[in-house]
Chain A
Amino acid sequence: MLHVNSISKTYHSKPALSDISLYVHAGESIGIIGESGSGKSTLGKIILGLEKPDQGDVHFRGSNLHTLKGQALKAFRRHLQIVFQDPAGSLNPKLPVWKSVVEPLENYPDVIPSFLKEVRHDRKKMAEVLFQKVGLSPELLERYPHQLSGGQKQRIAVARGISLEPDLLVCDEPTSSLDVSVQAQVLNLLKKLQRDLNLSFLFISHDIAAVQFMCERIVVLKDGILVDAFLTNELFSASRHPYTKMLVEMSMEQDR
């Protein structure tokens, strides 16, 4: 479904990504691990079409994402949605949260997601269905972002992300700003949604344990270079790249 072909990107003559290739099948979830500065977020932005690569191209359902313009691009964007790390920054502070949740549906009046078929005419009802999908109580519909906890806000961001029933949801560190106990709740939710809606996931994180839980395949980035790519159940295999091994060791050591 998604093919990334030998992408390179340079910022101020510093290479951020060099020659990265990867693919995502429909319904598959791929994890991208790396430290800060490894280029993982840049890669996410390029895949979403928010940044242009210097070299290489991204093909999504057969079309080159970076040559699309205007209406054609808009039609594609519908299938690509994102959940950011900072839920507070991705919601409009002056809107009650239910309006933020249905905003994408207003931008795409022709799109009818399968789970909103019966209520597509009623904005408020759509928000209710989406709230229920992400495990939020309908009492919170009228609240403003500052009246909600971090976990609740992130659920709202997820509801917004899935509202158009996209093919691919990019999650950029979706849990790293949350309390540990809430992280587990949000990860469980994401995994359940992925299964229920048959979404593809691109899960960007520096937390190898979160990626292991969420993803079927893992890609490891270091300084803009793809150093390792493997199936999640091969994470402990002896043939892993030394850098991957070090990340695993680090994570194990923290737990003793």
Chain B
Amino acid sequence: MFENKTTTSCENNLLTVESLSVTIRNSRKKLIHNLNFSIPQGEIFGLVGESGSGKSLTATVILGMLSKSLEVTSGSVTLGQSEITSLSERELRNIRGRDIAYLSQNYQSFFTPFIKVGQQFIEIIRCHTDMSRKEAKKVAIHWLNKVHLPAERVFNSFPDELSGGQLQRASIASAIMFRPKLIIADEPTTALDVLTGERILDLLSELKEELNCSILLISHDLKHIIKRTQTVGVMYGGQIVEIGKTSAVVANPIHPYTNLLLQSRLRLNKHIQHELPTMLGEPGLIAEEGCPFTKRCPSAMESCSNKVPMNSLGKHHSAACHLVNAEREERYVTR
């Protein structure tokens, strides 16, 4: 019919982040550098990296909630047909909570402590719709059931009467009530123990199927990402240093950072180790020029301080590292 403005957002990508850069207004310091990734409809995309790698900041940009002291200097974020970076606050308010839902690690502070959970649900619902209180309660109970909670009891409880897992479930329920297109789950299980965390991730996968939405799963722990995502981006110092199909990245980690992240996972062992493999240095150690990981990299060479472009290995996998070469390509394992 008409030539569409967003010709670049191809096929069925729900979210497209294109050459996104974010800097601090005053110091011109770059926090996110030329970020590129996209999430297809109905997929779970994982973003993994240590503290300070810029993964949560990326989520903030997608939500259009960037702090005033920061600035998007280039690039765009497109959700469906709308370009988020150019929307007004009023338009953004319609998208946030409706089209994009956000789940944080800090489920403890999700609900106001001295108002019953049910009342807070009703408030959220009436904020986005013109339902009566009675109708809103029905909706709330429906979604509390959906996340496998004893709905009536939770509805009439104060937040401190619920366990961590229950609170996280309740916050999920409130996030998905408007059938969002995208759920951003920022370390949703980090504050929970292993079993509860797994159940929360099971729930998210199940809801994804039902709502046919996409999920951006952010974590510092590859353990949570590997099993759940189709595609993964590995972030360091505000850049994606490796990206690809999760199975391909796990089988053939190219960037030394990805490799070290994989190795330093704590794992049960048949033989008890005397020392765990570790990564050199602290997460905040970022090189200003070239590859951000240079200062901690065991295979750093002179050329690493120059700009390292993304090199692709096969169709579904690329990395910003000089180690991508022909010899590597031969050894590439396809699963």
**Which A residues contact B (CB, under 8 angstroms)?**
35-37, 149-152, 179-185, 187-188, 191, 206-210, 212-213, 232-233, 235-236, 247-248, 250-256
Please tell me if the beta carbons of A256 and B227 are within 8 angstroms of each other in the complex: yes
> Is A213 touching B276 in the complex (CB atoms < 8 A)?
yes
Partner-contacting stretch, out of B35-43, B86-94, B187-195? B187-195
Prevailing SS type, chain A contact patch: helix
Q: Contact at A149–B284, with CB atoms within 8 Å? A: yes
Known A181-B50, A250-B195: A188·B268 in contact at CB below 8 Å: no
Known contacts A180-B221, A188-B278, A206-B194, A251 near B268 by CB under 8 Å: yes
Q: How far is the CB of A256 from chain B (nearest CB, A)?
A: 7
Give a binary string over B146-176; 1 marks a CB under 8 Å from any A CB, 0 the rest.
0000000000000000011100000000000
Q: Which residues of A contact B27 (CB under 8 A)?
A: none
Closest to B285 in A: A149
Closest to A253 in B: B227
Nearest residue (CB) in A for B260 is A181
Of the candidates B163, B276, B277, the one whose C-beta lies within 8 Å of that of A37 is B163
Q: Which residues of B contact A151 (CB under 8 A)?
A: 282-283
Q: Provide 29 A-B residue pairs closer than 8 Å at the C-beta atoms, listed in order of the A residue.
A: A35-B193, A35-B195, A36-B165, A36-B193, A149-B51, A149-B283, A149-B284, A150-B51, A151-B283, A180-B220, A180-B221, A181-B50, A181-B283, A182-B50, A182-B283, A184-B264, A184-B279, A185-B278, A185-B279, A209-B269, A212-B269, A213-B273, A247-B195, A250-B198, A251-B268, A254-B198, A254-B223, A255-B223, A256-B226
Q: Digitize B272-314: 1 where CB-to-A-CB distance is under 8 Å, 0 elsewhere.
A: 1101111100111000000000000000000000000000000
A185 partner residues in chain B, CB cutoff 8 A: 278-279
A149 touches B267 (CB 8 A): no
Judge if B22 is at the interface, Cβ distance under 8 Å: no
How many A-B Cβ pairs are below 8 Å? 105
A254 to B223, CA, bound (A): 6
Residues in B with CB closer than 8 Å to A250 are 194-195, 198
Q: Does B73 count as interface, using CB distance less than 8 angstroms?
A: no
B264 contacts A35, CB within 8 Å?
no
A182-B283, A184-B276 in contact; A251/B194 too (CB < 8 A)? yes
Please tell me which one of the listed residues B198, B264, B272 contacts residue A180 in the complex, with CB atoms under 8 A apart: B264
Interface pair B163/A209, CB less than 8 Å apart: no
A150–B224 Cα distance when bound, in Å, is: 21
| Given contact pairs A181-B279, A232-B272, A250-B195, a sample of 20 additional A-B residue pairs in the complex whose CB atoms are under 8 Å apart | A35-B196, A36-B163, A36-B193, A149-B283, A149-B284, A179-B220, A180-B220, A180-B223, A180-B265, A182-B283, A184-B278, A187-B266, A210-B266, A213-B276, A235-B268, A236-B270, A255-B265, A255-B267, A256-B226, A256-B227
Indicate the member of B198, B224, B272 with the most A CB atoms within 10 Å.
B272
Judge whether B222 is part of the interface by a CB distance below 8 angstroms. yes
Q: Per a CB cutoff under 8 Å, which of A149, A183, A187, A207 touches B194?
A: A207
